């Protein structure tokens, strides 16, 4: 890769190119197959680690949906200690920056895991996963209570010497406000988006295709949803590093996320289908930059042009008809406020 | 494990099954029975995931050197697409994948049980066992004659064979389970190998465990990647030391498992037939004879 | 259709079969092409009506995404008065029940539209669309403030003599709580889900493919998301009629929604691609019922079996390893609380 | 408007263009130039929406009676799939769709301008105009010779023709706009018809409006359905009484519009070239001469 595709995520985290392996899609770390060219990835995010080992969800754990992949792995992982002992040394051998994803079930667990991980040689960043049930809030996922997000993010960010990214789901109507709060509380950057809750039904057998009633939807189906989330948050927080993730499979997809406001991108499902996807995506981004004569991925960031920027969509409708602009004025944009 | 763009040499029909032979010398040279291939789907489709097929034949010598054959019964979107693939097209192939059947060193009489396309890896295994001087007997089943894969090949490969069809259109009427106890006794089998649907494997396993006959079975679980990345394909397998179980990836730690170590109830929790989880003292036959 | 596919939505609204045309996908009402067999639809939901005529969004209004359709029509419609005068008489000619979708920009607009519509002959129900900007809340969409949802739903439900359905988006983390509040405030039923916010980028031209930064994602891509929403809400509110919508294109899709807890289904995008989709879906549902020997669509409702129902997923992980169940206990279900 | 399963009679190549001829008597019998067809995409693909193509030929009599031809340049997913379609396959076709070009009753000299596949409806129109005794002259353009559709056919159909290619590989170098003022004068055209890309149409419209020459132009806008259901294909068109504009559906109220009534700036707001919206007194040529 030419140096010009390097991206600076800030906090000392510079990547050789903008394409990172997403959490949960790279095996256990100890036995990544050679087909995934580990040393050519810009960075890897580990599967989300829990304090103690977790066996994860019962089977069946996955289903195929239209241009999507629905899965519920339930965070099967060796636990943070065994990860540091067994997986991390093998991962770091490749010289690729490792970002550890942490999934606590109490504030204390987040703190213990972060304290243990951030000082490990080879750990270049932390990613806070907030989808785990919060045992101090009746099992609601952490992301469902803003004050819990802030406690976790604030505490972890204060203690960590490596940059902390917070992974947010798209389905928060107050996504921008939440993102802003995370940054105010010390988060270095954001990862957008987590898999989207979905259900697949086996009509023939009258049952859920997965062992549970819900899984996370990933893959090309969710790309527009992820792009919208990245665009919204990066428009509101243009200086905050964002890793965009959701359905990225080609160089063009990668470019789309950079244009929408991502600093780097993560690749999950595409890697399952095509283990060299991240490398191909990085190459595709480079080709695009060359073709367009653009100097670096950073110059793409937030360059997305939208008709609404130039001409308020509201005004387009305003031809003096009473109320005719009800929907038009702010464009009936189906999302929440961006305070 | 290699990834290759493999040319399709040949496509054929055997009853309900389609067979595809590809040219993939890098893969063929290391293949053993029980291992499988992963085939990438074309672009622009609504189905993304790779499809997985047991290796039926690997030719390492002769005119067909470097070729691999797999078979399938077109059912869903991916196999229907594969059924349209023509000679000289190229497929995105990863293989060989997974752990193969182990060959017994001391024991000599092997009963091989297969249902449907399960015959694909089982016939391959039969060849290899015979090449090692083992006695091979078989039970081959299918819903009807069309779904019994190459019965003649089965006969050629085995000392004795029992063919079972659901409708009695070939061999005897019934399923492979009906023939199993009888064949076990008739052949005095010392080892059992099987590839069949989950409920069949489980029933076979029950008999093997009860009679303390060592066995190996190739299981199927939906695979998100086939190469160990996603942990969607896991099977709950009791640890060798009996200290609990681990959710092992069928794609890398399987698909061949010792059925005595599978926690069947837990694994089959999503099957209509739900039973209480096994008692603590679930029998574990630890060491594989070989 | 055999009488046995009839469904009772309650409130006097009985449908010949469970397949309804979704809002916004049936032209203007005055000129529905004959290819859409209007008199064979169970019911139609009108495009969302505003108090005054609306010209809708600027163009380009749509883009194709992986198994999805991204559109921003911006509620182009003739306004409620012209609708009643011109479109409604032509729609009712077919004898198909008409459900009017209303989109206000103030509480008063909702009230006026509902008052005007609910007494019109041929109007069999109202569907409240909550995605319009609330002019009394800085343009935030109504659905982003629970108290505004409740005001609108409560007021409209109290005045209406026809059953009122509330259409909710999937991206509310407190979806179940919101649904419950709607019902408590008088809503007769719910429609789940609205199109999901998404963005499509034209990398070559460095711009949004639509004229605005966001559109609504519909089609098969969102089916798992819609199914999960229907399942969650219907599990919590088993007696409330739910119309499921999102990516339904085949009879099997329809059955999946009924199993997940819908009473009826709506079809949008599939009708654009295949104008006889609703009729084919209804026929497919009938075939399924016959094959399974099930007497009526109502008997499918909520019959979805989930492994988690029989064996708590948490317990599956509990083999005495400390913390091993952190993720497993409530299964790391990526959604909000269901109070 | 009918929906039919139409057999593909024939596929051909003309330079860069693919042509497909289908058998669809129910559709063919009512077709007029400027109308289009909607083609359903196959199942199992990630692209869902129907694709839309102008009708190039409709044979109502003779050996080819009941057939329709359309042409395309394979670019994206849908047209690439269509390029693989073979004779005897069936297509899901809806048509005829949209409003056709109107024929002038009194005016007699017609200048027809097309770019790329815009020639498809324009040649069809030329035939019909000639059948009505009108004089037809043409400007036909394309980026290169390969992208000029059937130049010989164009010559046959017109009194005089100007062929323009971006690289000068056929006819003169330049685009159709370069030839337009000269041809207008040379032919003393009384009516202009055009099918070309949006920016070209707009420039042609500017000239026509300035010179008060009545014209009709076939526009393109992304169509979610093609049959009037979704309102995604709208074009802002000034009302006949000048009291404002309406967003009219190109699929049902178009694709042929009087360009003098299109609010080009508003419509092209999403094009790179952004100009201030037109002044209130934007000239509107109301009544179509015919
Ligand atoms: C190790 C292994 C070996 C196999 N060997 C063979 C073989 O030799 N011949 C053969 O015909 N089939 C074999 N299968 C099953 C084969 O993978 C499925 O038949 C095939 O994936 C179905 O794809 P589809 O597109 O027809 O079905 P779809 O219904 O479209 O598949 C949807 C999803 O479910 C998965 N799936 C569907 N059925 C199965 C299944 N039975 N097992 C695992 N995943 C499934 C698909 O891979 C896909 O991800 C094997 C499976 C595994 C795991
Ligand atoms: C009334 C009408 C007549 C047309 N006649 C012809 C013709 O005779 N020959 C021909 O080659 N093309 C014609 N087009 C354009 C043709 O519809 C597109 O080339 C085609 O849809 C592109 O599909 P794709 O799969 O190649 O592109 P993709 O990029 O995969 O298309 C993605 C989406 O964008 C739409 N789209 C892409 N390009 C266009 C376009 N130029 N205009 C409208 N929608 C577009 C597609 O329909 C699809 O919904 C016509 C369009 C319209 C509206
Ligand atoms: C099999 C699988 C496992 C995943 N596990 C995790 C996880 O442990 N932690 C996490 O934050 N995200 C996890 N994800 C979500 C991905 O990191 C990513 O956010 C999502 O899949 C969307 O990206 P994609 O479309 O590129 O896959 C997982 C996704 C998949 C498909
Ligand atoms: C072109 C288009 C226009 C729509 N307009 C409306 C609308 O006016 N009001 C509304 O409530 N939903 C509207 N929707 C959303 C649909 O009613 C439906 O909720 C959504 O498309 C998901 O269903 P589907 O996948 O079957 O299309 C529209 C959808 C489309 C595709
Ligand atoms: S299929 Fe992905 S880990 Fe086995
Ligand atoms: S394309 Fe749907 S209304 Fe014109």
Strands across the sheet containing B90-97: B51-54, B36-39, B90-97, B2-14, B17-23, B67-72, B57-59
- Are B97 and B251 within 8 A, CB to CB? yes
**DSSP 8-state class, residue A8:** E
Provide the pLDDT confidence category of residue B289 given band limits of 50, 70 and 90: very low
**DSSP 8-state class, residue A22:** P
The predicted pLDDT at position A179 comes to: 97
- Higher-scoring residue by pLDDT: B282, B52: B52
Stated as kind and residue range, the H or E segment containing B156 is helix B151-157
Which candidate from D46, D244, D269 shows the least CB-CB separation from A319?
D244
The predicted pLDDT at position B241 comes to: 87
- Interface touch A313/C212, C-beta < 8 Å: yes
- Higher-scoring residue by pLDDT: C171, B245: B245
- Are A163 and A182 within 8 A, CB to CB? no
Ligand index nearest the alpha carbon of residue A166: 3
Mean pLDDT score, B46-60: 95
Those residues whose C-beta lies under 8 Å from the C-beta of residue A199, and which sit 6 or more positions away, are A70, A208, A210, A213, A214, A215, C224, C227, C228, C231, C260
- Interface touch A170/C171, C-beta < 8 Å: yes
In chain C, residues with a C-beta closer than 8 Å to the C-beta of A132 are 326-327, 332
- Interface touch D270/C33, C-beta < 8 Å: no
Q: Determine the residue of chain B that is closest to A26 in CA distance.
A: B229
CA distance B47 to chain D (A): 7
- Interface touch C269/D48, C-beta < 8 Å: yes
> What are the structure tokens assigned to C188, written together?
């007769």
Stated as kind and residue range, the H or E segment containing A149 is helix A146-159
- Interface touch A307/C58, C-beta < 8 Å: yes
Stated as kind and residue range, the H or E segment containing A118 is helix A107-118
Mean pLDDT score, D275-281: 33
Q: What are the tens digits of pLDDT across the range C177-194?
A: 999 999 999 999 999 999
The reply to whether ligand 5 has any atom less than 6 angstroms from the CB of B24 is: no
List the one residue out of C261, C248, C249, C282 whose CA is nearest residue C4.
C282
The structure's pTM equals: 0.93
Measured from the Cβ of residue B86, the count of other Cβ atoms closer than 10 Å reads 7
> What are the structure tokens assigned to B55, written together?
């290796």
The reply to whether ligand 1 has any atom less than 6 angstroms from the CB of B99 is: no
The predicted pLDDT at position C331 comes to: 30
| Percent of chain A residues topping a pLDDT of 70 | 89
Mean pLDDT score, B114-122: 96
Measured from the Cβ of residue D173, the count of other Cβ atoms closer than 10 Å reads 12
The three-state DSSP-derived secondary structure of chain C is: CCHHHCEECCCCCEECCCEEECCCCECECCCCCCCCCHHHCCEEECCCECCCCECCCCCCCEEEECCEEEECCCCCECCHHHHHHHHHHHHHCCCCCEEEEECCCCHHHHHHHHHHHCCCCCEEEEEEECCCECCCCCCCEHHHCHHHHHHHHHHHHHHCCCCEEEEECCCCCCHHHHHHHHHHCCCCEEEECCCEEECCEECCCCEECCCCCCEEEECHHHHHHHHHHHHHHHHHCCCCCEEEECCCCCHHHHHHHHHHCCCEEEECHHHHHCCCHHHHHHHHHHHHHHHHCCCCHHHHCCCCECHHHHCCHHHHCCCCCCCCCCCCCCCCCCCCCCC
Q: Determine the residue of chain D that is closest to A324 in CA distance.
A: D246
**Residue C112 contacts A where some CB pair is shorter than 8 Å:** no
Q: Determine the residue of chain C that is closest to B243 in CA distance.
A: C319
List the one residue out of A269, A272, B100, A271 whose CA is nearest residue A282.
A271
Chains contacting D (3+ CB pairs below 8 angstroms): A, B, C
- Higher-scoring residue by pLDDT: D173, C322: D173
Mean pLDDT score, A238-242: 96
> What are the structure tokens assigned to C125, written together?
């129900």
**Residue A140 contacts C where some CB pair is shorter than 8 Å:** yes
In chain A, residues with a C-beta closer than 8 Å to the C-beta of B266 are 58
Q: What are the tens digits of pLDDT across the range B123-152?
A: 999 999 999 999 999 999 999 999 999 999
In chain C, residues with a C-beta closer than 8 Å to the C-beta of D252 are 31
Ligand index nearest the alpha carbon of residue C128: 4
Tokens 């024991």 belong to: B107
> What are the structure tokens assigned to B128, written together?
């290899």
Q: Determine the residue of chain B that is closest to C324 in CA distance.
A: B246
| Percent of chain B residues topping a pLDDT of 90 | 83
CA gap B32, B98 in Å, rounded: 10
Q: Is the pLDDT of residue B272 over 80?
A: no
Length of chain A: 339
Q: What are the tens digits of pLDDT across the range A154-207?
A: 999 999 999 999 999 998 878 999 999 999 999 999 999 999 999 999 999 999
Ligand index nearest the alpha carbon of residue D16: 2
Q: Is the pLDDT of residue C310 over 60?
A: no
Q: What are the tens digits of pLDDT across the range C236-253?
A: 999 999 999 999 999 999
Q: How many CA atoms lie within 13 A of A58 on its CB side?
A: 31
Chains contacting C (3+ CB pairs below 8 angstroms): A, B, D
Give the number of the atom of ligand 3 that is nearest the alpha carbon of residue A195. 20
Q: What are the tens digits of pLDDT across the range B230-266?
A: 999 999 999 988 889 999 999 999 999 999 999 998 8
CA distance B282 to chain C (A): 15
Strands in B132-208 per DSSP E: 135-142, 161-165, 172-173, 191-195
Q: Is the pLDDT of residue C315 over 90?
A: no
- Higher-scoring residue by pLDDT: A94, C266: C266
Measured from the Cβ of residue C184, the count of other Cβ atoms closer than 10 Å reads 11
Provide the pLDDT confidence category of residue D277 given band limits of 50, 70 and 90: very low
Find the C228 Cα to ligand 5 centroid distance in Å: 24
The predicted pLDDT at position A220 comes to: 98
CA gap A281, D191 in Å, rounded: 51
CB-defined site of ligand 2, < 6 Å: C 64; D 36, 47, 49, 51-54, 70-73, 75-79, 117, 120, 220, 222-223, 255
List the one residue out of B166, B118, B121 whose CA is nearest residue B145.
B166
Mean pLDDT of chain C: 88
Find the D250 Cα to ligand 2 centroid distance in Å: 13
- Enumerate chain B positions whose Cβ falls within 8 A of a Cβ in A: 1, 3, 40-41, 46-50, 94, 221-222, 224-225, 227-236, 245-247, 252, 266-267, 269-270, 272
Substitution target from C247, C272, C275 for chain D, most D beta carbons within 10 A: C272
- Judge if ipTM > 0.85: yes
Q: What are the tens digits of pLDDT across the range A27-46?
A: 888 999 999 999 999 999 99
Stated as kind and residue range, the H or E segment containing A154 is helix A146-159
Tokens 């750990």 belong to: A123
The predicted pLDDT at position C102 comes to: 97
Q: Is the pLDDT of residue A322 over 90?
A: no
Q: Is the pLDDT of residue C220 over 80?
A: yes
Mean pLDDT of chain B: 90
Q: Is the pLDDT of residue D22 over 50?
A: yes
In chain C, residues with a C-beta closer than 8 Å to the C-beta of A197 are 225, 228, 333-335
CA gap C119, C65 in Å, rounded: 41
Question: What DSSP letter does each residue of A257-302 carry, written as one string?
Answer: HHHHT-SEEEESHHHHH-TTHHHHHHHHHHHHHHHHT---HHHHTT
Q: Is the pLDDT of residue A325 over 60?
A: no
- Higher-scoring residue by pLDDT: C131, C326: C131
A-contacting residues in C 257-296 (Cβ below 8 Å): 259-260, 288
The predicted pLDDT at position B270 comes to: 52
Provide the pLDDT confidence category of residue D103 given band limits of 50, 70 and 90: very high
> What are the structure tokens assigned to C170, written together?
């999937």
Task: Return the bridge partners of B14, or none.
Answer: B17
CA gap D265, D274 in Å, rounded: 7
**DSSP 8-state class, residue D145:** G
CA distance A297 to chain C (A): 13
Mean pLDDT score, D93-107: 94
| Percent of chain C residues topping a pLDDT of 90 | 81
The predicted pLDDT at position D78 comes to: 97
Q: What are the tens digits of pLDDT across the range D225-265?
A: 999 999 999 999 999 888 899 999 999 999 999 999 999 98
Ligand index nearest the alpha carbon of residue C143: 4
Mean pLDDT of chain D: 90
The reply to whether ligand 5 has any atom less than 6 angstroms from the CB of B49 is: no
């Amino acid at each position: 890769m030419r140096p010009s595709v390097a991206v600076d995520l800030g906090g000392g985290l510079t990547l050789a190119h903008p394409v990172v392996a997403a959490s949960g899609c790279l095996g256990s770390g100890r036995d990544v197959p050679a087909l995934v060219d580990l040393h050519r990835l810009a960075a890897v995010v580990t599967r989300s680690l829990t304090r103690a080992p977790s066996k994860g969800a019962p089977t069946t754990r996955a289903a195929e949906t239209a241009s999507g992949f629905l899965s519920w792995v339930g965070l099967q992982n060796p636990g943070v200690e065994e990860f540091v002992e067994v997986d991390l040394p093998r991962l770091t051998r490749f010289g690729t920056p490792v970002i550890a994803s942490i999934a606590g079930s109490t504030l204390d667990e987040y703190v213990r895991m972060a304290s243990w991980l951030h000082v490990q040689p080879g750990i270049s960043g932390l990613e806070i996963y907030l989808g785990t049930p919060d045992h101090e809030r009746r099992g609601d996922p952490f992301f469902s209570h803003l004050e819990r997000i802030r406690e976790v993010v604030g505490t972890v960010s204060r203690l960590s010497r490596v940059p902390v990214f917070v992974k947010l789901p798209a389905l928060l109507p107050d996504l921008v406000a939440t993102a802003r709060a995370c940054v105010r509380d010390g988060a270095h950057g954001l990862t957008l988006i987590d898999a989207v809750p979905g259900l697949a039904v086996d009509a023939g057998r009258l049952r859920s295709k997965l062992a549970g009633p819900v899984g996370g939807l990933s893959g090309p189906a969710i790309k527009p949803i992820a792009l919208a989330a990245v665009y919204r948050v990066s428009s509101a927080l243009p200086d905050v590093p964002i890793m965009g993730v959701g359905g990225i499979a080609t160089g063009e997809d990668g470019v789309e996320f950079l244009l929408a406001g991502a600093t780097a991108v993560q690749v999950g499902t595409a890697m399952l289908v095509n283990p060299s996807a991240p490398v191909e995506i990085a190459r595709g981004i480079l080709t695009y930059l060359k073709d367009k004569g653009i100097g670096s991925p950073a110059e793409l960031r937030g360059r997305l042009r939208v008709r609404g920027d130039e001409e308020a969509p509201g005004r387009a409708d305003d031809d003096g008809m009473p109320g005719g602009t009800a929907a038009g004025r702010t464009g009936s944009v189906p999302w929440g406020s961006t305070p | 494990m290699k990834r290759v763009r493999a040319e399709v040499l040949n496509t054929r029909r055997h009853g309900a099954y389609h067979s595809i032979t590809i040219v993939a010398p890098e893969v063929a040279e290391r293949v053993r029975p029980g291992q499988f291939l992963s085939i990438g789907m074309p672009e622009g489709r609504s189905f993304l995931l790779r499809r997985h097929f047991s290796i039926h034949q690997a030719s390492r010598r002769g005119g067909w050197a470097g070729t691999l054959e797999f078979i399938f019964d077109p059912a869903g979107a991916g196999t229907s697409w594969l059924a349209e693939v023509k000679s000289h097209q190229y497929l995105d192939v990863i293989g060989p994948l997974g752990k193969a059947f182990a060959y017994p060193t001391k024991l000599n009489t092997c009963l091989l049980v297969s249902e449907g396309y399960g015959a694909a890896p089982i016939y391959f295994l039969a060849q290899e066992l015979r090449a090692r001087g083992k006695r091979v007997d078989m039970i081959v089943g299918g819903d009807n004659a069309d779904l019994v894969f190459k019965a003649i090949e089965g006969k050629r490969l085995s000392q004795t064979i029992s063919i079972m069809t659901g409708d009695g259109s070939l061999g005897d009427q019934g399923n492979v389970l009906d023939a199993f106890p009888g064949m076990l006794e008739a052949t005095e089998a010392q080892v059992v190998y099987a590839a069949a649907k989950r409920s069949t494997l489980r029933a076979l396993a029950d008999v093997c465990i009860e009679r303390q006959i060592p066995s190996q079975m190739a299981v199927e679980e939906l695979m998100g990647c086939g190469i160990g990345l996603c942990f969607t394909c896991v099977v709950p397998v009791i640890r060798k030391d009996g200290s609990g179980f681990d959710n092992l990836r069928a794609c890398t730690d399987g698909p061949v498992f010792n059925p005595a170590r599978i926690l069947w109830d837990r694994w089959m929790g999503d099957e209509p037939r739900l039973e209480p989880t096994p008692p603590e003292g679930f029998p574990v036959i630890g060491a594989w004879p070989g």
